Structure 1
Amino acid sequence: MRLTDAQTGWRDRARQFASEQIAPLADQIDQQQITPASVLVAMRENGYLGAALPARWGGGGIDPVSYGLVTEEIGKACSSVRSLMTVHNMAAQALVALGDRDQHQRWLPELCAGKKIIAFALSEPNAGSAAHAIETQAVKLSDGYLVSGTKKWITFGQIADLFLVFAHYERKPVALVVDRHSDGLTVTPAKDIFGTRGSMLAEVRLDNVHVPRSHQVGPTGMGISFVANWALDHGRFSVAWGSTGIMQGCLDACVSYTQQRRQGDHRLKDHQLVRRHLTDMLVAHTAAQAVCYRSACLREVGDPRAVMETAMAKYHAAGAAIRVATDAVHLHGANGCTTDYPVARYLRDATVAGIIEGTHEIHQVTLADYAFQRPYLR
């Protein structure tokens, strides 16, 4: 597709920013399992945290294609930093769509400006993809709720200012915005995870945390079916594009490595099987990017098929990223298993992309249903 000047501008600025301010720190972020404050400040000051949020509240208000391209460039440089964009955007987008006027005025200006970070608190020790199985409970009071439960694998939970928490009230799901400094809320960092190791995961425990009634997002009973699913849709879009970034990073790394590495009198790039792998990487990235573009275009015009087409983009791109990253490690041989080259990090990060915002298996179930219902895309 032909990009507009504005879309090209967003892509090129993000590419330069990621190359200069994120990529040089990617291995450090991975090994130290923390995203430096300097990166968070740079992301905020360059408008990337609120890029896809409404301009009326101080966000960038960019179109889905531009946001996808920005996410791809950030994801290529470092999936952990991309995950910050993902979680902040998905939770904030739910507030934009389903919050009331007072909630918009209270939270959106600082969220759009990146002055506050909001995390998405759905997963629990016994509830991942089966979101309906959450065990966190909310007891209703005259002025709000008392919330108790444990949330796990909360991306950037270590530093989030706000949490979009999902609980059950009398067997009905409810979504609540919880302040980090609430009495009874405890944050415990999660360490030594497999991939996106700098995404600052945390376990968030709520022990009779008082949440004002004004912090409820959407009506009771709609917490998962509307609020969570709205947020997850935006998360899948971001992860899909981030996965294309991983593939581009793998391809770039392998092109460079096979041009320089020699076996005897021949460079690796001259071997037929090596060239086959490079071809497969190129085609996989191009195909995944095309599916992501289609999803973005459908989102831009508000097409009702956009939600399932986004799920398909996430399923395809994340799966392709795992295959591409696996081949990239093999092309690097033993070097691919070290921290001297980025491909091992790409493989671990791609594996995580295949799990978050809906596993491959969950998508296989829902997309099969869509196959029976899907209207022809003209």
Structure 2
Amino acid sequence: MSAAEATGQAQGGALNDWLRERISHALSEFTAATALIVLFIALSFASPYFLTADNLFNIGAQTAVIAIIAAAQTMVIITKGIDLSVGSVAALAGVAGAMVVRDLGFPLLAATAVAIGVGALAGLLNGLLVTVARIPPFIATLGTMSVGRGLVFIITGAVGVYGLPKSFQLLGNGEIIGIPFAVVITAVVAVGVAFVLSQTRFGQYTYAMGSNLEAARRSGIAVGRHLTYVYVLAGVLVGLGGMIAASRVNSGQPNYGISLELDVIAAAVIGGASLFGGQGRPDRRDHHRRLPHRAGPQRRRPARHQHPLPAGDRRPDHLGCRLLRPVPPSAAGVTGLTCRSLNSPEEGRTPWHTPPPADVHEVDSCARRPSSPPPRRPLCSAPAAGSRSGTEATARPRTRPVR
């Protein structure tokens, strides 16, 4: 077999592997959509009223609460967490909104704000338990689920909140140009969550924390703060979903949301979220997300005390990379020395084999030579009187222990 034939066979095998991988990704991506289309076709043959606009809008309004809370659960799952308290928090938010309307006479908009605030507080509690108390998300949200359900029963006395005005039904049963208001809210939430996760720094941090929490922390991301933000935002959406559910039945039900977390988690996973975190679409198993331009964690300049390290010291900085080139005594405030004296081969110092990253600020030690030293004590001692100066001088920097 000639070399050309062997090369052609190798290229053909690589092409076949590429096609097989792309087909596998396409099938995994469109599996849920294909099943939904097949279901729609089967139901359309089973009933002539299934594909009517009224029936489809009715289905959208009925699934609006699950869809909104599933969007919140997706963000939590991407961070390699889980929220089991969504059912209890939704019931608590709906009951709170219904009670302020009945007892305090709040308008619907203010009652919705109260329900969203209750959900945000529950999300903040979950975030603090996960980030500050270091409790696993499964255990933390399981406890919040029990606490939320108990609060609902205590507040209502295990009795539903009735006697609400008809205007309370606008959020769950109202229409805009013939389209249910709940469907419009669901579409806005879905588009907003997709935009946040794919086009903002917050979304990129969410994927980074789910992929590797320690790597995200070492790359400069405030992991605790952003993880708390994720749970708070999820709580906001859960509170909104609970208010819509209460508006649909025109009452606050303390038993609402039991086993709702199972439906929500299933919807998020079918939609493409991975329970292992860091993945929001089924075709992103081998895809390494890149941060958009100027959207990633900014590299901070090393602290001042890290600059005048002895030559050859390679202690890693806060980003896990090498520190800057050692600053010669001239740049550290010691006069009479040059950068050549630190790199002289007779001193036996190890040269830099790998240059620092290009996006890390590098001090040009030979470009500036301050006339007066700073108030802090320099690490290198100046040459004694009568000794050689200039490029022939040698510096004996005081070494410090490497931490």
TM range (shorter): under 0.3
Which structure: larger Rg? 2
TM-score (norm: length of structure 2): 0.23
TM-score (norm: length of structure 1): 0.24
Which protein has greater RCO, CA pairs closer than 8 Å, 6+ apart? 2
